[in-house]
């Protein structure tokens, strides 16, 4: 049984987003993702509860309406509406409809609020998914490494993933997205090794995202052999891009 609070939660206050509503359109228990990242805060896919009930777009609309009308009534500010949850939101079969519903609710109750979607971009090659992502204010799209071999180790895609194809899909955004990249290493890989880093710089130059957000592991991760980077090290990794005028945000 789905509860409204499972779908729309908050608002939560953060310095970065202000007062933010969270939207989780994935099954409320367990994790559902087409990646199985070594650093995923939701744990491994295999340990997730095999519950597959998605909220419908009508339920999402109802949950947004209930939450936002109450917030307006109580004079609670909402600066942003962010899709993040236990997995990959674009896997929802009604993802495009849900984006339309959300934008409609945003326009009705908090027209100044920004809608953000965190996605691993695996499905960005699907026309309807790409179009929906292009409609939101902040599509925050992940590329963690610069070749398929490294991605297989870090993100462990569930199904055929070709970085080249994902990059081609993201080219269609004409830079109007935020690229998110996690820097990390383990005894088995290092996303900031010189060759890998240079190739990642080239991907950024090709896609020209309006912002690049780099970060490192923060909380406990399912793979215990991972090591994080410091803010200073990440500043070195992105230095050539900053010098070329890219807007790069670093989160330690």
Residues that bind ligand SF4 (CB under 6 A): 33, 35-37, 40, 42, 87-88, 120
CB of 62 to ligand SF4, least distance (A): 25
Nearer to ligand SF4, 27 or 87 (CB): 87
CB of 88 to ligand SF4, least distance (A): 5
Nearer to ligand SF4, 61 or 88 (CB): 88
Distance, CA of 52 to CA of 93 (rounded, Å): 12
Closest by alpha carbon to 57, among 25, 85, 14?
25
CB of 65 to ligand SF4, least distance (A): 27
E strand residue ranges, the chain: 8-14, 18-23, 80-83, 114-119, 138-142, 178-185, 211-216, 227-228, 248-251
Nearer to ligand SF4, 8 or 217 (CB): 217
CB of 101 to ligand SF4, least distance (A): 22
CB of 239 to ligand SF4, least distance (A): 26
The one-character DSSP state at 87 is B
Residue 68 Cα distances to 77, 81, 105, 138, angstroms: 10, 10, 8, 20
Nearer to ligand SF4, 120 or 216 (CB): 120
The one-character DSSP state at 233 is H
Distance, CA of 13 to CA of 215 (rounded, Å): 20
How would you class 195 by CB atoms within 10 Å of its CB: exposed for 0-12, middle for 13-18, buried for 19 or more? Answer: exposed
Query: Residue 153, preceding bond cis, omega within 30 degrees?
Result: no
CB of 161 to ligand SF4, least distance (A): 11
Q: Is the distance from CB of 124 to CB of 141 less than 8 angstroms? A: yes
CB of 4 to ligand SF4, least distance (A): 22
Distance, CA of 103 to CA of 107 (rounded, Å): 6
Nearer to ligand SF4, 6 or 88 (CB): 88
Nearer to ligand SF4, 37 or 170 (CB): 37
Nearer to ligand SF4, 120 or 191 (CB): 120
């Amino acid at each position: 049984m789905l509860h409204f609070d499972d779908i729309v939660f908050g608002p939560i206050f953060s310095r970065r987003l202000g007062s933010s509503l969270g939207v989780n359109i994935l099954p409320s228990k367990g994790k559902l993702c087409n990646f199985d990242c070594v650093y995923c805060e939701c744990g491994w896919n295999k340990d997730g509860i095999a519950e597959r009930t998605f909220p419908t777009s009508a339920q999402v609309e109802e949950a947004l309406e209930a939450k936002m009308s109450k917030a307006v009534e109580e004079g609670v500010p909402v600066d942003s509406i962010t899709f993040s949850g236990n997995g990959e939101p674009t896997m929802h079969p009604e993802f495009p409809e849900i984006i339309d519903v959300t934008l409609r609710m945003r326009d009705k109750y908090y027209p100044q609020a920004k809608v953000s979607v965190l996605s691993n971009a695996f499905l960005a090659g699907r026309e309807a998914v790409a179009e929906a992502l292009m409609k939101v204010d902040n599509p925050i799209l992940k590329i963690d490494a610069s070749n398929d071999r490294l991605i297989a180790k870090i993100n462990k895609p569930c199904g055929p993933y070709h970085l080249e194809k994902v990059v081609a899909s993201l080219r269609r955004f004409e830079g109007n997205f935020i690229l998110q990249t996690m820097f990390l290493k383990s005894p088995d890989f290092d996303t900031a090794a010189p060759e890998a880093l240079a190739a990642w710089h080239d991907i950024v130059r090709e896609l020209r995202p309006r912002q690049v957000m780099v970060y490192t592991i923060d909380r406990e991760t399912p793979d215990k052999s991972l090591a994080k980077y410091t803010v200073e090290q990440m500043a070195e990794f992105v230095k050539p891009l900053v010098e070329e005028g890219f807007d790069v945000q670093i989160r330690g």
